[in-house]
Amino acid sequence: MPDVVIRAFRVSGFVPGPCTKCGKEERGLVMFEDYALGWECLSCGEIGRADRVEWIEGKDRPSRTSWTKKSDQSTPHTGQMPRP
């Protein structure tokens, strides 16, 4: 049986490609108790193990930036509490 190889973005953990069960492209990287890597569909919950991960450098797919609220992008967090 051939090795199962998945591609994943190194920073976000997004796994490109459709879910084998529901066909949606909403998969994320997961680690199992035995430290093996795999993916989980964020829509239907389908889980799969991978024999190997090919890491993708760079930015995630463009449509994922639309998931963030505009207010979160307007000002960076400084780590300081606001003054009363």
Rounded Cα distance between 14 and 30, Å, is 10
Residue 25 lies in domain: 5-57
The total domain count for the chain is 1
15: exposed, middle or buried (C-beta count within 10 Å: 0-12, 13-18, 19+)?
buried
Domain membership of residue 32 (yes or no) is yes
Phi-psi region of 4 (alpha: psi -120 to 50; beta: other; left: phi over 0): beta
Domain membership of residue 63 (yes or no) is no
Domain membership of residue 24 (yes or no) is yes
Segments of the chain scoring below 50 in pLDDT: 62, 64-78
Using a cut of 0.85, tell me whether the model's pTM lies above it: no
Q: What per-residue confidence (pLDDT) applies to 1?
A: 80
Domain membership of residue 84 (yes or no) is no
Domain membership of residue 82 (yes or no) is no
